[in-house]
């Protein structure tokens, strides 16, 4: 990876990994301490039991209304762990492809890029499953999908560029081989004539 577009791909992969980690956190149904503390303080300031009942009923309504989106422990184990591993694999493959000599080991480089592209497709499938099962919102999936497709399209362009660059040395080798064969044939023919 030599130009700024290639470094942009690495940054996009890094961003995707961080976003995947953030979005696959386990969302607990428990009330957090800060919210509970605020409710208890408000109740402690009340004088009348009817006011306490009103505040408690309102707190329960708010807690019930704010059903949390996100991964339960079971969903995290089923989908979230895999999604994190896939995002890590995308990063590993992009870095591995970047570290391969593009002039001599282009097949290995293309193989790594293909692996990253396959992982992007798989991560997109997981995101769709999570939307279907209402684990994440459509809005979150749109953001996440954009991050994945940015990486996927940039990696596909990188693969195309790598294939093009790989053809040049192969064509040169073939031309040299053909020239060598033609020269050998010409020498043989000249030897037979003379």
CA distances from 87 to 19, 23, 61, 84, 139 (A): 9, 12, 38, 5, 20
> What distance in Å separates the CA atoms of residue 126 and residue 79, rounded to the nearest whole number?
7
What's residue 179's pLDDT? Answer: 79
Q: Would you state the structure tokens that stand for residue 11, as one six-digit string?
A: 């940054």
CATH number of 4-28+70-193: 1.20.1440.60
What's residue 1's pLDDT? Answer: 44
| Residue extents of the structural domains in the chain | 4-28+70-193, 30-67
Cα Rg of the chain, angstroms: 29
Q: Would you state the structure tokens that stand for residue 21, as one six-digit string?
A: 């980690």
Sequence-ordered alpha helix ranges (H) in 79-137 = 81-98, 106-132
What's residue 176's pLDDT? Answer: 77
Q: Per residue of the chain (194 residues), what is the pLDDT tens digit?
A: 445 666 788 899 999 999 999 989 887 666 667 777 777 777 778 778 887 778 777 777 666 655 556 788 888 999 999 999 999 999 999 999 988 887 778 889 999 999 999 999 999 999 999 999 988 989 999 999 999 999 999 999 999 988 887 776 666 777 777 878 888 888 888 887 76
Q: Residue 70 region, left (φ>0) first, then alpha (ψ -120 to 50), else beta?
A: left
Enumerate residues 6+ apart whose C-beta is below 8 A from 159. Answer: 110, 113, 114, 117
Tell me the three state secondary structure of residue 26: strand
pTM, to two decimals:
0.68
């Amino acid at each position: 990876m030599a130009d700024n577009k290639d470094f942009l791909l690495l940054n996009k992969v890094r961003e995707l990994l961080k976003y995947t980690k953030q979005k696959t956190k386990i969302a607990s149904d428990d009330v957090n301490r800060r919210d509970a503390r605020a409710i208890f303080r408000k109740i402690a300031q009340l004088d009348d039991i009817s006011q306490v009942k009103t505040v408690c009923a309102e707190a329960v309504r708010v807690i019930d209304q704010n059903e949390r989106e996100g991964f339960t422990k079971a969903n995290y184990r089923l989908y979230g762990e895999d999604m994190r591993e896939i995002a890590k694999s995308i990063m590993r493959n992009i870095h591995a492809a970047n570290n391969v000599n593009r002039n001599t080991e282009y097949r290995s480089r293309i193989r790594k890029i293909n692996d990253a592209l396959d992982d992007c497709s798989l991560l997109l499938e997981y995101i769709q499953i999570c939307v279907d099962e209402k684990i994440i919102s459509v809005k979150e999936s749109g953001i996440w999908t954009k991050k994945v497709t940015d990486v996927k399209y940039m990696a596909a362009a990188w693969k195309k560029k790598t294939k093009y660059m790989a053809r040049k040395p192969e064509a040169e080798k073939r031309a040299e081989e053909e020239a060598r064969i033609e020269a050998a044939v010409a020498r043989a023919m000249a030897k037979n004539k003379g």
